[in-house]
Amino acid sequence: MTTQSILIVEDEKDIREVLAFNLKREGFSVLEAGDGRRALELAKEKKPDLILLDLMLPVLDGLSVSRSLQHDPATAAVPIIMITAKGEEVDRIVGLELGAADYVTKPFSVREVILRIRSVLRRRAVPGETVPLCCGDIRLDAADHAVWVAGVPVGLTVTEFRLLEDLLRNKGKVRSRAQLLDAVWGFSFEGYARTVDTHIRRLRSKLGDSAERIETVRGIGYRAGEDGDKAGLGSERPGKGYGEYGPPAGYGDADRLAFEQPERGSEGYVSSVESGEASGDPKL
C-alpha cells in the first residue's frame, strides 16, 4: 500500500515541525514548505495527496497559492485544508469558496487536524466500482478521477468533481444544499449554503452546453437531469456580498464570490469529523 503524502505549508517553524512529527507518527509521508512560492514548487513536483495550507504566508499568500493550484490541471485534484489564525465566519466561507476541502483555525488540536485529514482523504477515496456515471454528454469515471463532455476531457477541481459525482450518483433526484454540503464537504451548516451555489456556477461554466443537465430546483437545491432530458438551469437569486464586513484585504478576486452573510450569533463552523481534544493533545 502506497504511503499517502501530506504537504505542510506553514511559515511558523515550530508549528510545522510539530505537525510533521505527528503526521509521520501516523504513517504519512511529509513534505514541508515555509512560504507560498516553495509550496507551489513542491505541489507541482511531488503531487501530494493533501495540502495543509496556512493563509498568512510570506512571498505568496495562501489564497494566491490555492488559486494557482486550482487553476493548474496537474494539481487541481489535490484537496486543501486551510489553516489560519483568522477565525471570522467570512474568512472560512471565502476559503471554502476558493476550493478548500476543510478549514481549521488556530489554535488547533493536532489530533483534530489528523482526524480532519483522514476524513478528507476518506471522502476522496474512490468506491470499488468501474462503471462510469453518465448524464447526456457528461461522463464521469470515479476510478480515474476523470470527466468528459461530448468526448472532450474536462479539468475539474476536487470539489467540483465530488459535487458532479454526487449529482450523477443521484441522477433525477433533488439534492438539497445541506445534503450536498454534507456529501462533498463533510458538514452541513446554513451559513455555508451559498458555497454550494458558487461551485455549481463554476461547474456549469466548465460543462459548456451540457451545463443544462444541472437543474436548479428553486428554494431547495439542484438535480442532474435524466438522460434525454435537458433539465434547464433554472434561476438563482444573486448572492449577497460581504455586506458590512467589506472584502477582506488581500483576497484579490474573492470579493466577487457570492454567498449569504451568516446570521449574527451563529456558533460558527461545525465539522462532521470526530473532534474534541484528546487527553494531553497540544494546542497549536
Over 94-123, what HEC string results? Answer: HHHHCCCCEEEECCCEHHHHHHHHHHHHHH
Tell me how far apart the alpha carbons of residues 93 and 192 are, in angstroms, rounded to a whole number.
7
Instruction: Report whether 61 contacts 40 (CB < 8 A).
Output: no
pLDDT of residue 269: 35
Cβ count near 214 (within 10 Å): 25
The C-alpha cell that represents 104 in the structure block: 481549521
Query: What Å distances lie between residue 137 and 147, 216, 223, CA to CA?
Result: 10, 19, 16
pLDDT of residue 240: 35
pLDDT of residue 219: 86
Tell me how far apart the alpha carbons of residues 170 and 224 are, in angstroms, rounded to a whole number.
7
With residues binned 3-state (H G I as helix, E B as strand, rest as coil), the percentages for the chain, rounded to 5, are 40, 20, 45
The residue ranges of the chain whose pLDDT is under 50 are 128, 227-232, 234-280
Q: What percent of the chain lies above the pLDDT cut of 90?
A: 39
CA nearest neighbour of 2 among 38, 29, 42? 29
* H or E segment to which residue 140 belongs: strand 138-141
Would you give the DSSP letter of residue 80? E
pLDDT of residue 26: 92
Tell me how far apart the alpha carbons of residues 245 and 227 are, in angstroms, rounded to a whole number.
44
Instruction: Report whether 199 contacts 207 (CB < 8 A).
Output: no
In the chain, the domains with their CATH numbers are: 5-124 (3.40.50.2300), 129-261 (1.10.10.10)
Residue 143's SS3 state is coil
| Residue count (the chain) | 284
pLDDT of residue 282: 57
